[in-house]
C-alpha cells in the first residue's frame, strides 16, 4: 500500500486583518510545536498582505505558508499580481493555483492554471492545483469528464508528487455547508488517481486533497476515504480549534 503523508491546508481567502491573521498563524505554530510529531503536513494560505509576517511567526514550526495564487510570468507589468519567485523569496513553500473562485472571478482557464503551475515549479514552490465541477455539471452527469479534463490540462508534464498536490473541490460544496458524500468523493478521487497513474511515473504518490465544507464533524470520515490524502479547508481554517481538530483527524 502506498504511503502518502496527508496535507491539511487552510485557505484563508480574503479574510483576516493583520492582528487576527498573525494570531491565528502564531497559535497554530505554537500548537504544532507543543504537540510534537504530527500525522500530517500543515499549510496555511493567508492573504498576500500577511504572507511575509506569517512566514515569520511560523518559522521553525511544522506550519508551512503558501500563497493563494501566482502569476505565470516571473516579473513584469501585471498590476496587482504576485510572481511565484516573490512568494519563494519571502519563504512561502506552496501556492494554490486554479481555485474555483479564481476560475470564476478572474476567468482563469485550465491552460492558464498550467502556466501558473509551471511558474510555481520553476520558483521551487509546490503547486496545489485545484479542480472541481459545478453543480450544473454534476447534475448533467459530467463530473468525471470535467474533473479529469481539468487535471489533464492544468497539470504540466513536469509535475511530480513532490512539486504538485491536486485538490478536488466540488464548487457546489464550497462554503455552502454541503459536503460531497464519501461515495462521491471516493469516485472522483479514484478517477483522479487513475489519471495521474496513467500519466506520471509517480502518479500513485501525488497527494489528492478534498475541499468543500470540511469541518471537525466530517473530517474524520472524509480523511478515511481511499485516495483522500488531506483537505483544503476554507471557513473552518479561520478558527484555531476547528482547524486543529481537522488536523487531528489525520492522526
Ligand atoms: O479552498 C478552500 C475551499 O474553497 C473550501 O472552502 P470551505 O471549506 O469554506 O467550503
**pLDDT tens, position by position, 34-63:** 988 789 999 999 999 999 999 999 999 999
Please compute the mean of the pLDDT values over residues 163-171 and round it to a whole number. 98
Query: Binding site residues for substrate, as ranges?
Result: 11-13, 175, 213, 234-235
- In the annotation, is 221 catalytic? no
**Interatomic CA distance for residues 170 and 105, integer angstroms:** 16
Q: Is the pLDDT of residue 84 over 80?
A: yes
Q: What is the pLDDT of residue 38?
A: 87
* Of 9, 180, 233, best ligand 1 pocket probe by most atoms within 8 Å of the beta carbon: 233
In the numeric block, which cell numbers belong to residue 225? 476515504
Domain segments of the chain as ranges:
41-47+62-248
Task: Report which ligand 1 atom has the smallest distance to the Cα of 11.
Answer: 1
121 is known as an active-site residue: no
48 vs 175: which has the higher pLDDT: 48
Decide if the complex's ipTM is over 0.90.
yes
**Is a pLDDT exceeding 70 seen at residue 2?**
no
Rounded CA separation 120/83 (Å): 9
Check pLDDT > 60 for residue 1: no
Round to whole Å and give the CA distance between 159 and 133: 22
Q: Per the residue annotation, which of 71, 133, 169, 189 is the catalytic one?
A: 169
Catalytic residue among 99, 101, 108, 189: 99
Q: Which CATH number fits the domain 41-47+62-248, given the four candidates 3.20.20.70, 3.30.460.80, 3.20.10.10, 3.30.1490.20?
A: 3.20.20.70
Q: What percentage of the chain has pLDDT greater than the value 90?
A: 94
* Three state DSSP letters for the chain: CCCCCCEEEEECCCCCCHHHHHHHHHHHHHHHHHHCCCCCEEEEECCHHHHHHHHHHHCCCCEEEEECCCECCCCCCCCCCCEHHHHHHCCCCEEEECCHHHHHHCCCCHHHHHHHHHHHHHCCCEEEEEECCCHHHHHCCCHHHHHHHHHHHHCCCCCCCCCEEEEECCHHHCCCCCCCCHHHHHHHHHHHHHHHHHHCCCCCCCEEEEECCCCHHHHHHHHCCCCCCEEEECHHHHCHHHHHHHHHCCC
Residues lining ligand 1, Cβ inside 6 A? 11, 99, 169, 174-175, 211-214, 232-236
87-137 per-position pLDDT tens digit: 999 999 999 999 999 999 999 999 999 999 999 999 999 999 999 999 999
Amino acid at each position: 500500500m502506498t504511503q502518502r503523508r496527508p496535507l491539511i491546508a487552510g485557505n484563508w481567502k480574503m479574510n483576516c486583518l493583520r492582528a487576527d491573521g498573525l494570531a491565528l498563524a502564531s497559535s497554530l505554530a505554537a500548537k504544532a510545536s507543543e504537540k510534537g510529531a504530527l500525522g500530517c503536513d500543515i499549510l496555511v494560505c493567508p492573504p498576500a498582505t500577511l504572507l511575509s509576517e506569517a512566514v515569520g511567526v511560523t518559522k521553525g514550526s511544522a506550519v508551512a505558508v503558501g500563497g493563494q495564487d501566482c502569476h505565470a510570468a516571473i516579473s513584469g507589468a501585471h498590476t496587482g499580481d504576485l510572481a511565484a519567485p516573490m512568494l519563494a523569496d519571502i519563504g512561502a513553500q506552496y501556492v494554490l493555483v486554479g481555485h474555483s473562485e479564481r476560475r470564476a472571478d478572474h476567468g482563469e482557464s485550465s491552460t492558464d492554471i498550467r502556466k501558473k503551475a509551471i511558474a510555481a515549479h520553476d520558483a521551487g514552490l509546490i503547486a496545489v492545483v485545484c479542480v472541481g465541477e459545478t453543480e450544473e455539471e454534476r447534475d448533467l452527469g459530467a463530473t468525471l469528464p470535467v474533473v479529469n479534463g481539468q487535471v489533464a490540462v492544468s497539470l504540466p508534464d513536469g509535475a511530480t508528487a513532490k512539486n504538485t498536490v491536486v485538490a478536488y473541490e466540488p464548487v457546489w460544496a464550497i462554503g455552502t455547508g454541503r459536503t460531497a458524500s464519501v461515495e462521491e468523493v471516493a469516485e472522483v478521487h479514484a478517477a483522479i488517481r487513475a489519471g495521474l497513474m496513467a500519466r506520471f511515473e509517480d502518479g500513485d504518490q501525488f497527494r489528492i486533497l478534498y475541499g468543500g465544507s470540511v469541518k471537525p464533524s466530517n473530517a474524520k470520515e472524509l480523511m478515511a476515504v481511499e485516495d483522500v490524502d488531506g483537505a483544503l479547508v476554507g471557513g473552518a481554517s479561520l478558527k484555531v480549534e476547528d482547524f486543529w481538530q481537522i488536523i487531528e483527524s489525520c492522526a
